[in-house]
Chain A
Amino acid sequence: MFLIVPIAYSLAISFTNMSGLHPYTDFIGLHNYLKTLQNPLFLTSLRNVAMILFIQVPVMTLIALALALLLNSELVKGRNIFRPIIYLPLCTSTVVASLMWNFMYGKDYGLINTLLSNVGLPKVDWVTDSRVALYSIMNVITWRWIGWNMVLFLAGLAAIPQEIYDSAKLDAGRFQTVRYITLPLLKPMMVVSIILSINGSLQTFTEPLMLTGGGPGYSTQTLIMSVWRFAWGMFSYGYAAAASWIVGLIVFFAAIIYIRYVAKGWSWR
């Protein structure tokens, strides 16, 4: 009831010109959908989240995997201390984390630029340079979610039967064990991690809102920020509903494409 009714209502108004700025609501067919797909701001948002998807997700996944392998190894002392430390950022609210990074990214007073200038390097406009701002956002997302993905991989590693490793020791070195046994057996968990990351990256909202407001220019505007603007900046509820359905379909098909064509056949049984 609480799920179906809002979804159905959202779909229904997406075919209308429902707006807070005029009292009439008329059926306009696919007009909102077509307008959204032609909206340069929406298309820029799509490009931005595509960059997050194809850059931030793989980088975060690789780092999380490396950390999981490292912290699963008996060679590393103090693993039980490092694991919660790496997971800690996820326990911070997104707003607080973003505000903290906003301070760190400050051009004149920020920690990062202070360290850079102390070693003779130039300061960087982390959030006011359009060439850099999106990467600054990606960094914050990676910092916050790397622990979560690491935990997923650690769970996957814990599920691999020890007998397989015992058998592998007979004629495989450490690297070969990871390459031919650990990684293939970890693939199902990788699928889960990447699908969740795809879902998360396509719905990025809080970090760019807090750090850059979607700027400079539109360089950090994301899909959900566009939907939010259509609803609460333009008060065009029908238009926003159509945009949200397009975003939902993008997320759905992105996951489907990944499962069917990229992660196809991944199973260790």
Chain B
Amino acid sequence: MSAKQAITQIQAIVIAAILVVAVGAAYYYFTLPTPPPEEVTLTAWSWNSEDINYTFSETTFDEDHPWIKLDSVELGGTGDTYSRLATSAAAGSGAPDIALIEGDRLPQFIKMGILLPLDDFGAGDYADEFWEPWWNLGVSEGQVYALPWDMGPCGLFYRADIFEKYDLKVPETWDEFIEQGLKLKAQNDTIKFTSLSVNDRGTFQILIQQLGGQVFERVNGDVRCVASSEAIQAMELANSMAELGIAEWENWWVDEWYSKQADGLIACVPIAQWHGGFLKEWLAPGNVGLWRAAPLPQFVAGETRSAHWGGSFFAITTQSEHPEEAWEFVEFMTCTVEGQLALYTSSGYYPALKAIQMHDEVAYEDPYYGGQNWVAVFSEESVPYLPDFDFTEYYQLMLAHLTAAQGRINEGTPVEEALEEMATITNEEIAAAGG
């Protein structure tokens, strides 16, 4: 063999050896076990820390994500949660990874810039899993900022025993509602047919939504509060109930209001689905078999207009240091059957995910409601007909003046005058806020 042939053979052997080593290294590298992710603790702020903890620990999420830990912080009520979140936004630090925010407060926090857009995580793919008017509250300028957790579709809770005793019919229209109220008043002046909230949005929000009205209008990008014709009509209907003596303007969410419902001094309440859980769990637990649910009365017979009140979303904050992990938990809580069922099991709040709104574990014949499948009333008669309602970032600001207007209306101020004043003061404050 010549020297040249020997060199050629050696080169071939070297190249072959390199190839063998390279292939072997590649094989070894790609078959190495993946090191476990670094442990991450997510902080979640809410007024429902128990329910979030339950969803985390009593489902498969914990087992499937052993590197994710949860610090679910209960900040008191909704007001405390929002104040802390706003402070963190202003300070630029201190915000949690995940925040629970009610639907009507979302526009405010989206505008603050504290919420992380979720489109990069594929949030938009879930749009069809939720009812559009509700889903849209978490969307701004085409970007998804929050995913729905629970909802507040509205209906009518009524005392079946009182209706039966006084031969009352479940009203299908607001005219029938008034008629039945007067019928009850004629027989028993102590029991009020319904209740009007002087310190909360109550009946007004339900009625204006059913009328398709708004309390804000957008003109050239500016937001203005208006005393719309629908707002006036809604408030006039509510006030007529007080003037006819079938309802009282009173403080809601106080012991006296709870006691009146439990003791049968209020025959029916148009309100959101979550009130059904309140009645059952703590407001009137002794009223087993006495309450029923019905669809909201309509302005026009045969219509199916609904309303929503309350309900909340999960969002990830821009200050989160673990957005991917936060997304995994938020996605699980809101977009999976297991996560949403855990929510319902723990809290009784109406789940936002379409797929389980008639699930056997959610909508069933409930002994508390006399064997009625009361949740199905909301799933079938309310949720599919929710309106679009533009809360804007100033709704909370307006609410304080709405309750003041309700108080003035209770004392004789004409409805239109009171609502015009509400709109004027709200607009002055919007201007002062830089809006």
Min Cβ gap B52→A in Å is 24
Min Cβ gap A240→B in Å is 10
Question: Chain A binding site: helix, strand, loop or mixed by DSSP?
Answer: loop
A213 x B434 contact (CB < 8 A): no
Min Cβ gap B318→A in Å is 12
1/0 per residue, CB under 8 A from A, across B403-435: the answer is 110011011000000000000010011001111
Given A19-B433, A236-B434, answer yes or no on A128-B256 (Cβ-Cβ < 8 Å): no
Min Cβ gap A74→B in Å is 44
1/0 per residue, CB under 8 A from B, across A31-50: the answer is 01001000111000000000
Question: Chain B binding site: helix, strand, loop or mixed by DSSP?
Answer: helix
Looking at A21, A102, A219, the one whose CB has the most chain B CB atoms below 10 A away is A21
Interface residues of B in 266-316 (CB under 8 A from A): none
A217 x B408 contact (CB < 8 A): yes
Given A21-B108, A108-B260, answer yes or no on A233-B400 (Cβ-Cβ < 8 Å): yes
Decide yes or no whether A20 CB sits under 8 A from chain B. yes
A130 x B396 contact (CB < 8 A): no
Neighbour of B411 across the interface among A40, A102, A216, CB < 8 A: A216
Interface residues of A in 95-123 (CB under 8 A from B): 102-103, 106-110
Interface residues of B in 166-202 (CB under 8 A from A): 198-199
Min Cβ gap B224→A in Å is 15
B393 x A21 contact (CB < 8 A): yes
**A residues less than 8 Å from B254 (CB atoms):** 102, 106
A232 x B90 contact (CB < 8 A): no
**B residues less than 8 Å from A213 (CB atoms):** 199, 403
On chain B, the number of residues with a Cβ less than 8 Å from chain A's Cβ atoms is 38
Neighbour of A229 across the interface among B249, B400, B435, CB < 8 A: B400
**B residues less than 8 Å from A19 (CB atoms):** 433-434
A235 x B108 contact (CB < 8 A): yes
A20 x B198 contact (CB < 8 A): no
B411 x A130 contact (CB < 8 A): yes
Decide yes or no whether B113 CB sits under 8 A from chain A. yes
A233 x B396 contact (CB < 8 A): yes
B432 x A106 contact (CB < 8 A): no
A110 x B256 contact (CB < 8 A): yes
A233 x B397 contact (CB < 8 A): yes
Decide yes or no whether A153 CB sits under 8 A from chain B. no
A236 x B433 contact (CB < 8 A): yes
Decide yes or no whether A23 CB sits under 8 A from chain B. yes
Given A128-B250, A229-B400, answer yes or no on A235-B112 (Cβ-Cβ < 8 Å): yes
Decide yes or no whether A223 CB sits under 8 A from chain B. no
**A residues less than 8 Å from B360 (CB atoms):** none
**Listed stretches B81-89, B203-211, B232-240, B343-351; interface member:** B81-89
Decide yes or no whether A215 CB sits under 8 A from chain B. yes
A102-B258 Cα distance, complex, nearest whole Å:
13
1/0 per residue, CB under 8 A from B, across A180-214: the answer is 00000000000000000000000000000000111
Closest to B82 in A: A232
Min Cβ gap B3→A in Å is 77
Decide yes or no whether A17 CB sits under 8 A from chain B. yes
**A residues less than 8 Å from B404 (CB atoms):** 214-218
A20 x B411 contact (CB < 8 A): no
**B residues less than 8 Å from A41 (CB atoms):** 425
Min Cβ gap B102→A in Å is 15
Decide yes or no whether B128 CB sits under 8 A from chain A. no
Interface residues of B in 243-272 (CB under 8 A from A): 249-251, 254-256, 259-260, 265
Min Cβ gap A124→B in Å is 14
A129 x B434 contact (CB < 8 A): no
Decide yes or no whether B359 CB sits under 8 A from chain A. no
Min Cβ gap B81→A in Å is 12
1/0 per residue, CB under 8 A from B, across A230-260: the answer is 1011111101000000000000000000000
A128-B251 Cα distance, complex, nearest whole Å:
7
Min Cβ gap B115→A in Å is 13
**B residues less than 8 Å from A23 (CB atoms):** 113
Given A21-B433, A232-B82, A235-B433, answer yes or no on A216-B255 (Cβ-Cβ < 8 Å): no
**A residues less than 8 Å from B407 (CB atoms):** 128, 130, 215-217, 219
Closest to A22 in B: B434
**A residues less than 8 Å from B86 (CB atoms):** 20, 232, 235
A216 x B410 contact (CB < 8 A): yes
A236-B86 Cα distance, complex, nearest whole Å:
11
Closest to A36 in B: B432
14 A-B pairs whose Cβ atoms sit less than 8 Å apart in the complex: A20-B89, A21-B108, A22-B434, A23-B113, A39-B428, A102-B255, A128-B198, A214-B400, A217-B411, A219-B407, A229-B400, A232-B79, A234-B397, A236-B429
What residues make up the interface of A, taking CB atoms closer than 8 Å to B? Answer: 17, 19-23, 32, 35, 39-41, 102-103, 106-110, 127-130, 212-219, 229-230, 232-237, 239
Closest 7 CB pairs of A and B: A216-B407, A106-B256, A217-B407, A236-B433, A234-B433, A215-B407, A217-B408
